[in-house]
Every structure is written in structure tokens, then in C-alpha cells.
Amino acid sequence: MKKDCIKVSKQKGEPVRRLLLELELLDNSAKINSDPGYLYLPLTRIPDDTELELLNENESIELSEADFEEHEGIPRIEDLLENVPHFEIVGDIVLIESDVPEPEKVADAIMTIKPNVKTVLAAISPVEGEFRTRRFKTIAGENRTWTTHKEYGCRYHVDLEKAYFTPRLATERARIVKQINEGETVVDMFAGVGPYSIPIAKNSPAKKVIAIDKNPFAVEFLRKNIELNSVEDIEAIEGDANIEAEKFAAVADHVIMNLPHNAHQFLDAAIKLCAPQATIHYYDITPDDDLFEGAVELIGKAAENAGRSIEIIQERVVRSYAPHQYNVCIEVKVL
């Protein structure tokens, strides 16, 4: 059966496969094809321009067409449901949105095709409040919101109602881990349960990670996850990033600011944390008519107020967030 696909060199195939999965672009009904040099990854649809930009960013890929064999014996969700809703998998829990029609039927179909899933939850609130949490209703399976999620060789205990966690940023987090050099100190100002801090401590040559979060439950899970992953050199701190930053003036070679919508309120503190030449990884949600400019201006002003200046390293779209809104990452050097 002929299908649209992404052609990528074998060495670069795995990150591209993961990104396609995250973007829900990988067609799991077909077997991945290969020749001696390349992988052919079957697509559910042609990626849009932003998705292609993301896919092309680190690895050079090509849109192509190839023959694929179907997986036998495994029912496809499309065979069980007329309309397949968006869903996310965290550990053995599947999350669907609250407005999905016939949620029990959807949950049954998901549990049929994914036997490892033990619980299907529907979100009954948006991501809300200072701690960016959501509330859920159990649609099928075990009545719980806690699980253990695996990502890039790390494991995370998380309770989805008590602390923020999304599997959607896995590739983005891996991209940050790759940027950390020997002996560097990283401050993760909004660490959550640790999905940036833990892989940095485990898989990069960082000297030390300072991981701050205001949500006591998030920090409780962060501490459990430090233990679960047997990582050292992480200092987990429960507190307000603006206040805690005061104690670590000029220590950071990297500052991670993963609090989209509100990170601008912490820019003065972030600049204070920066050693000369440090990098700030600043996340925001921005409209498509001002993806980067407004946010860069805010970062520049905060630097200027502290008698410092910035150089832009990179501006990138991480994922689409809502119609005409994007989750972006801006990386600047603070001089």
C-alpha cells in the first residue's frame, strides 16, 4: 500500500519518529520501512509548515512516498471509532478532552488497542491556577490520577491532578539537555516534577541543577523522582522562583523558564541568576502575528534594567497551542 512518508537517515531516525508520534503524524497501522541508508516513516497526513520546520530543525528529512505493509492482527483505532479524538498517554493513563462525544466508547476502543492502559481520564477543567493543574473524571478503568511515566530513559512519578505534567514536550526537553556542557550549573525556575532537571542531571555533564517550584506536591514528586532515577547534584527547592533566585545570584550558566503565559513576571530574577554569558531558555504562548518580537523586547528590557544586554541565540516554535497561538521558546545569551 503506497503512503506519504518521511524519509530520514537511519542514524537520525529515532528523534524524528518520536517527534512524529508527539505530533500525531506517525501512522501506526503501517510497518516502518527501511533500506540500507534510510528509514521511511508512514504519515497519517502531510505535516503543515510549522511541523515541517520542527521536523527539519535538527535532522534533515524529506517528504516522500513509499510502499508499506500493514500491521497484522492489531486492530486500528480507526477501525473501532468513526471519529478518533485527540488523546495523550501519560504512563498507563490516557487523557481525553471533556467534550469528546461518547467518551465510554472512545475509552473502550483505546483500551482495546492499548492493553497497557489501565485508566482513561477526561479533563474537566483547563490547565489552571498558579500551579497549572487540571481536574479529571474517570471514564474507564482504575479510578486514579497518579502513574509513572517513562521518557528518554528517565521515569517520573506524577499525580496529574496535583502537579503539572505533559508528555508533549519530550522532544523539546531532549533538545535542551543536549545544550548543557561540562561543569555547567542549571537553574530550572519552574521545575514541576522534574522533566527538565532530572534528564539534565542524568544525561548531561552538568555540575549542578537547582530545581525550584512553588507547588508543594510538585516538589514532593520531584524529590521522589530524584530518588527514582538515582540522580545526584540536584537541589530541589519548594518556593517562589522570584524569592529563591535571590539566593543564587550569578550562579547559572542556563536558566530554564518553563512557565508560559507568566514567565515575564520572573525576568528580573532570571537575569540576576545569570553568570556572564549564561543562556536563558524562555517559554511563552504568543500569537502568530507576534511570535517572538514582544517577548524578546521584555527580556531585553529586564537585562537593560540590570545593566546587562542580550544576544538572541534562537527563536523557535515548539508546538501549536490553540488557533493562531503558539508555544515558543526564545533562547538568549545574557552578557
Distance CA 126, CA 97 (A): 9
- Which long-range contacts does 318-325 make (Cβ < 8 Å, 24+ apart)? 318/54, 318/169, 318/172, 318/283, 319/22, 319/23, 319/54, 319/168, 319/169, 319/172, 320/50, 321/285, 322/285, 324/287, 324/288, 324/289, 325/285, 325/286, 325/287, 325/288
Among the listed residues 171, 185, 204, 258, the single contact to ligand SAM using CB under 6 A: 258
Binding of residue 221 to ligand SAM (CB under 6 A): no
Among the listed residues 145, 147, 171, 215, the single contact to ligand SAM using CB under 6 A: 215
Among the listed residues 23, 259, 263, 295, the single contact to ligand SAM using CB under 6 A: 259
What single-letter amino acid sits at 307?
A: G
Comparison of 141 and 239: residue with beta carbon closer to ligand SAM: 239
Secondary structure string (H, E, C) spanning 101-167:
CCHHHHHHHHHHHCCCCCEEEEECCCCECCCCECCEEEEEECCCCEEEEEECCEEEEEECCCCCCCH
Residue number of the CB atom closest to ligand SAM? 192
All residues at 6 or more sequence positions from 140 whose CB lies less than 8 Å from its CB, including other chains: 104, 107, 108, 111, 119, 120
Among the listed residues 3, 7, 132, 202, the single contact to ligand SAM using CB under 6 A: 132
Residue count at the site for ligand SAM (CB under 6 A)?
21
Binding of residue 91 to ligand SAM (CB under 6 A): no
Comparison of 40 and 196: residue with beta carbon closer to ligand SAM: 196
Binding of residue 217 to ligand SAM (CB under 6 A): no
Comparison of 109 and 212: residue with beta carbon closer to ligand SAM: 212
As measured in angstroms, the least distance from the Cβ of 77 to ligand SAM is 27
As measured in angstroms, the least distance from the Cβ of 259 to ligand SAM is 5
Comparison of 8 and 174: residue with beta carbon closer to ligand SAM: 174
User: Per-residue x/- mask for ligand SAM, residues 288 to 327, rule CB under 6 A?
Assistant: ----------------------------------------
As measured in angstroms, the least distance from the Cβ of 318 to ligand SAM is 11
Binding of residue 22 to ligand SAM (CB under 6 A): no
Sheet containing strand 61-67, edge to edge, reads 33-34, 38-42, 2-9, 61-67
Whether the Cβ atoms of residue 136 and residue 142 lie closer than 8 Å to each other: no
Binding of residue 248 to ligand SAM (CB under 6 A): no
Binding of residue 131 to ligand SAM (CB under 6 A): yes
Comparison of 106 and 158: residue with beta carbon closer to ligand SAM: 158
What is the footprint of ligand SAM within residues 144-203 (CB under 6 A)?
A: 163-165, 169, 190-192, 195-196
Name the strand (E) or helix (H) holding 312: strand 310-322
Render 201-230 in DSSP notation, one character per residue: HHHS--SEEEEEES-HHHHHHHHHHHHHTT
Site residues, ligand SAM (CB under 6 A): 130-132, 163-165, 169, 190-192, 195-196, 212-215, 218, 240-241, 258-259
